[in-house]
Structure formats: structure tokens, C-alpha cells
Amino acid sequence: MADFDRTAYPLVINNESRPASTGETFASVNPATGEHLADIASAAPSDVDAAVAAARASFDGGGWARTNPQKRTRLLFKLADLLWANLDALARLEAREIGKAISSVKAEIMQGASELEFFAGAATKIRGETNAAPHGFVNYTHREAIGVCALIVPWNYPLMTTLRKLGPALAAGNTVVIKPASQSAMSAIVMAELAVEAGFPPGTINVITGAGSAIGGYLAAHPGVDKVSFTGSTEVGRHILDAVRHDFRRVSLELGGKSPALVFADADLDAAVPGAVWSIFYSAGQSCEARSRILVERPIYDDFVSRFAEQTARLRVGDPLNPKTQVGALISVAHRASVEAYVADGLAEGATLAVGGKRPDDPGLASGAFLMPTALADCSNGMRVAREEIFGPVACILPFEGEKEAIAVANDSIYGLAASLWTTDVARAHRVAGAIKSGVVTINQPFTVFPGTPFGGFKQSGWGREVSLDALDDFTELKSVLVYAGARPMDPFGLNG
């Protein structure tokens, strides 16, 4: 059984929980209270070597790569079952570690477990093709595992993101070394221990923890790693690319965003207003696909802004462990300072404060990294707040005139992760969906993906797709086998005379 009450969290290498070889640790802190939660093992490069070696041995030795797909299915379902069985404790652990509202964290872990089940089922359905070839030849393809995959994960959806990568990686027969974010390492460690309980062979799932700039970079550059699957900031994504480019190792990248919600004058505001509120303030705005730019058509602009502000002011901000809380703390006091600086910058550039912009009045929240959900109205798309990813509870609201301008402004971003359209005009919905340059478009729907629906970005939002069967493609190599099946020996130079 998993231990959720301990105050020391180990590395998990080759199915063994062990401290870092140096004995070093770093602190895990609850950002809602400042309370010290636990000490996490701080891996040395030699620990990373050991984790990669264990994953290599499981892969090369056939321990995992050659298990039959049915066995992979059963083990993945078993792990999912253990996650469901420990759902409440895992949610509590993660809510304390990242300060997010427990109702949100719980839903995310459920989503992660569901994605694991999706890929558990997919392990037995990996298919190849036969292709047209000249008479006397047969060509078929199959998809094979890539090898050892490094899964590098951010703090905003810790366990969900880990499971999102783990499912397709393992279903396809790869072995993994997981590097969780330092601010949210505990749930990945517990998950790996549950995987040992489920019966995964040694070396299949390894977890190393420690500073990204040190051991994350070391892992990404490790010659024993065949693929890096990274989710995080665009900036660190560039370091990952640098780490893999020399020897062309495989990589997929889920990066940042500045995703727009487009609210047309014909929208049903009873859906669009709460939808837009949810899609920026869920997870206190710390979502890669947060709809942080809200583009509103001029005739309904004033009405929208006042309804948006009124509904935002009613959000329940507070103790992450209270099941009624809707918006918890930010990941750290330092991160809050960065978000507050953006708000000040937006106001200095001419935006108007529609709601929020301050810390909660409740003295009980004073030692936590809280910030009231904030809306900056009358923004223009050239402002820094409208261009850069703030990654906090700050909505930028911009007026637009007509569909053409809405599309142009929506696409005027270095990012292209997601967009929402709010309209009752079906033709417009599909027309605009086709014109938006992003990997995901939701129509009359704030966001959320389901197991099976592709997720990933255009432009600087990344490379590759997750959540759907496309992720299996990204965790496999395509092999083409060409067979000569003619009656006479193959002799292209005519050497047989």
C-alpha cells in the first residue's frame, strides 16, 4: 500500500525506492500555507545513469518490449485500478503540494487514469499497413517501440501529465524515466510505487527527481535515452531541442500558449460568460491551454465585460483542501510576484481593471500564494499582457469588429495551442474553426479533452500530439518491410548470367 503520510520521498529505480546516492534532498512546500511537506531525493547524475541503465536493460533485454500486448493491457489496467483506489489520497497529496483546488486536482487525476485505460486498451490495437507494390513484391509496415523514453513533466497538472505520457509510451512497448517538476514530485513517486505493486517488470518505470536545469538537462542529453517527451515552457523546450538535435533523437514537445476565446455578438452569453470565466480561472490560470485572451465583438462588449466581472467576483478563492473551493493558490509566492508584475504592466499600458488585481482580504490566506482572479479590459493585442503567457489568473479582454478582425487577432501570436469559439451560427463556427491556427478548437465549450481526442499545438506551442491514438504514433518508429516474392532469384546486376 502506498504511504501518503511520510515526509521523505525517494527515487524509484529498477523497482526499488532509494535515496539519492549523495543523500541530498530538496524541500516540497505547500504554496497555500508555506508549510514544509516533505524532503524529496535530489538525484545526482550517477542516479540518472542508473535509471537510464535500468530502463535500457528492461528494453534491450526484452523485459518490457517483448511482453505480449495483452500483458501490457492487463498491467496498465491494474495500475489504473490502483490509482482509482487511491484517488482521494492522491488528490489530497497533490492539492497540498501545488495548492490547487482539490475538486480540480481530483478531476485531473481521474482524467489521467482514464487516459491510462484508453492506452491500456490500445496496446492490443497497434496496426501496420500493406502498401501497393509492384507485382512480385510485398510491402508492409509495423510500428515498433522507440526504446527508452524520458518523460519530463511540469507542475501544473502533475500526475495527469505523467499518465498522459506513460500510457502511450508503455502501451507501445517503451520503457521510461520520469522527471517530475521539482514543485510537484510526490505523486509521480507514489504512482511508480503503485506500478511496482501492480507488477510492472523492474526498470520499466523509473522516477528521478531533482533540479531540471541540472538533472533534467542531463537526462534529455543522455545517450541512453532514445526519445524525450517534454511538457513545459517554450523556453525550456528550446533547451530540450538543443539536447537532442545533435544525434537526432526523437522528441515531442507540449509547450506554452496564449489561447484566445472568441465571443461573437450572436453568442449565447449564458454559456459564453461562465465558459470564458472557467477557461481562464480553472487551475488559477495555470493551464497551458487557458483561454487568456478573450476577444469580444463590439456590440456585446460592455455587457460581456460587466457580466464577466460580476461572475468572476463570485468565484470561491481559498483553502485548496476545501471541496467547495474553485480557485486555490498559485504554485509559489515567486510566481505570484511575476503574475502581479504583469497586471501592473497591463494597467501601465492602458488596460482597465474590471475585477480582481489584488490578494484576497481573508487574513487566513495571507501566508499563501493567492491572487484574486483578475480581468484586464480594453486590452489591445500589442500589449505585453496579451502577447506573453502569464500563467496565472489574469484574463485580457479585447474588443473586435467583425469576423475577419477576430481571426486576424486570434492568429496574431507566436503560440497556437487552442482556441474557443462562442457563437450560435453553425456556418460561422466551422468557418472560423478552419481559419484558426491552433491544434485544438472548441466550439461553445470552454476546454477539456477526452481520452481519444488529440491535444497539441501549432507554431511555438510544440511538436506532436497527445491524449489520442496519434500519441501512439509519436511513441513508435514506423518500419517498412519490403519482400521480394518473385519466382526467380533477385539479381539486379544480372550476375547469374
Q: Which of 257, 318, 368, 464 binds ligand NAP (CB under 6 A)?
A: 257
Counting contacts by CB under 6 A, is residue 8 touching ligand NAP?
no
Counting contacts by CB under 6 A, is residue 111 touching ligand NAP?
no
Active-site position among 97, 108, 288, 466? 288
Counting contacts by CB under 6 A, is residue 288 touching ligand NAP?
yes
Give the pairing of strands 259-263 and 415-416: unpaired
Q: Which of residues 168-197 bind ligand NAP (CB under 6 A)?
A: 179, 181-183
306 close to 296: Cβ distance less than 8 angstroms: no
Using the minimum distance from each CB to ligand NAP, give the nearer residue, 63 or 232: 232
| Helix or strand (DSSP H, E) at 479 | strand 476-484
List of residues 6+ apart from 9 with CB closer than 8 A: 28, 38, 39, 40, 41, 185, 186, 189, 209
Using the minimum distance from each CB to ligand NAP, give the nearer residue, 153 or 190: 153
Q: How far apart are CA 452 and CA 403, in angstroms?
A: 31
User: DSSP character for 322?
Assistant: S
Q: Report the greatest alpha carbon distance in the chain.
A: 95
Q: Which of 112, 168, 201, 217 binds ligand NAP (CB under 6 A)?
A: 217
For ligand NAP, how many residues bind (rule: CB under 6 A)? 33
The reply to whether 288 belongs to the active site is yes
Environment class of residue 454 by beta-carbon count within 10 Å: exposed (0-12), middle (13-18) or buried (19+)? Answer: middle
Give the pairing of strands 394-400 and 374-377: parallel
Q: Which of 112, 158, 203, 212 binds ligand NAP (CB under 6 A)?
A: 212
Q: Which of residues 439-458 bind ligand NAP (CB under 6 A)?
A: 457
Distances (CA, A) of 43 to 22, 225, 460: 8, 17, 31
Site string for ligand NAP, 338-357 (x = CB under 6 A): --------------------
Q: Which of 108, 115, 226, 389 binds ligand NAP (CB under 6 A)?
A: 389
Dihedral pair phi/psi, residue 491, rounded to 5°: -150, 70
Give the pairing of strands 148-152 and 175-179: parallel
How many residues are there in the chain?
497
119 close to 476: Cβ distance less than 8 angstroms: no
CB closest to ligand NAP, residue no: 212
Q: Which of 9, 119, 155, 422 binds ligand NAP (CB under 6 A)?
A: 155
Q: Which of residues 237-256 bind ligand NAP (CB under 6 A)?
A: 239-240, 254-256
Q: Which of 21, 103, 139, 233 binds ligand NAP (CB under 6 A)?
A: 233
Q: Which of the residues are catalytic?
A: 254, 288
Positions touching ligand NAP (CB under 6 A) are 152-157, 179, 181-183, 211-213, 216-217, 220, 231-233, 236, 239-240, 254-257, 288, 389, 391, 417, 457, 461-462
